[in-house]
Amino acid sequence: MTHVDTGQNYSDIDLHLRSLMFYKVQGRAQMETNGSIAGDKPQLQIDARDSSGASLAGRRIPLNPDGTFQTDVLPGAYTLRLTGAVAVAQPKNSQNSTAMIVHLLAKQEIEVSGKDLLGLNLLIPPPITVTGHAYLEGTTQSNIGKGRVTIRPVETGAIGGFQSAEIQPDGTFTLTNCDPANYAVRFLPPSGTYVKSIVFNQQDAMTHPMDLSRGSGGELTIIVRPGAASVAGTLDSSAPQEANGSQKSFDVALISDLWDENGLVPVRSASSRNGSFSMNGIPPGHYSVIATSGVDMRLWENAKFVNEMQFHGVGIDLAENDQKQLTVPYLTYDEIDQLESRLGIN
């Protein structure tokens, strides 16, 4: 190794370049049903799943009119994602009957190691439909006759996959035009109840994503139960006060032990006015409660930040129908800023 000083000239320096071996990835994107390619102006993108191909992150691969493609990559693990605009029916009160929405049409995980990867068949499944039913457990009323179910993609590429559906009087609902992706399922239950379970094709879809990545739909069952808990309280004495002695307005976060960065079990929040707050409709479980002010909402999607908030918060166990009072610790704006710097969060 040669040490280089500022302002000095050097000669007879040999540079040794390491040769890198690239391999071909070649294949065709086509519909499962008729072999054609779907979507308006489809685009194919490759992303690395490990550090060996990180320089390829988000790179587009030229796609021929017949759906064929070819690119060169280093050995490594990658994901191919095909997106395209699809005509989607709009609500009856909309100005247009359809709108062109960009959807994830297909995806495939590949691994390249030591040889070309040829003859890939990137299959585009038909539009995915999920049917479902919402039940009210523990009462004579078997169905929930109103409300809205929403699903949100939890992965890169499914940019148009957000869907929602109204629950019908018989408790049924239908979600259409879903992408072959993983989804977080949300449902706001009636007052005084909580969501006990969400099951998709006999698999948990409340603390795990609903998996549509294989390109097929299924049955989604939501069970709601009476007995939601509530929490009320005040901020501790460390919270700053107005000139007249009253406490300022703050945000109080309720963080479940089941929280994860996919947003499957989101952070609940409430505004504190004059030092007091209340939250209703809380499922049984263990939670951490913390008060802050001026925190960027995106930080509540960062695992490092949320874990720190859980550590600084006050813990509370809630059972069905609990109505608990507590005093909540407060972190100042400067303390949050210092915490972000320590965690390396920009």
pLDDT in tens, 51-63: 665 555 568 899 8
Q: Where are the beta strands (DSSP E) in 236-307?
A: 250-256, 268-272, 276-282, 285-292
Q: Is 253 exposed, middle or buried (0-12, 13-18, 19+ CB in 10 A)?
A: buried
Fold topology of 23-124: Immunoglobulin-like (2.60.40)
pLDDT given at position 316: 96
- DSSP label of 342: H
Residues of the chain with pLDDT below 70 are 1-4, 6-7, 16-19, 33-40, 51-58, 87-98, 139-142, 156-161, 237-248, 346
pLDDT given at position 243: 47
Count the alpha carbons within 13 Å of 159 in the hemisphere toward its beta carbon.
10
Domain parsing of the chain, residue ranges: 23-124, 128-226, 229-343
Which of 74, 180, 164 lies closest to 125 in space, CA to CA?
180
Radius of gyration of the chain (CA): 26
Cα(187)–Cα(320) distance, rounded to whole angstroms? 19
What is 178-192 written as a DSSP string? E-SSEEEEEE-PPTT
Tokens of 63: 């796609």
Cα(342)–Cα(336) distance, rounded to whole angstroms? 10
pLDDT given at position 51: 64
pLDDT given at position 85: 77
Cα(254)–Cα(264) distance, rounded to whole angstroms? 14
Domain pair 23-124 / 229-343, same fold: yes
If phi > 0 it is left, if psi is from -120 to 50 it is alpha, else beta; for residue 271 that is: beta
Helix, strand, coil percent content, the chain, rounded in steps of 5: 10, 50, 40
Cα(50)–Cα(16) distance, rounded to whole angstroms? 26
Class of domain 229-343: mainly beta
What phi and psi values does residue 18 have, to the nearest 5 degrees? -90, 125
Class of domain 128-226: mainly beta
Which of 222, 223, 201, 221 lies closest to 213 in space, CA to CA?
201
What phi and psi values does residue 184 have, to the nearest 5 degrees? -95, 135
Cα(204)–Cα(201) distance, rounded to whole angstroms? 9
Tokens of 49: 């799943």
pLDDT given at position 65: 87
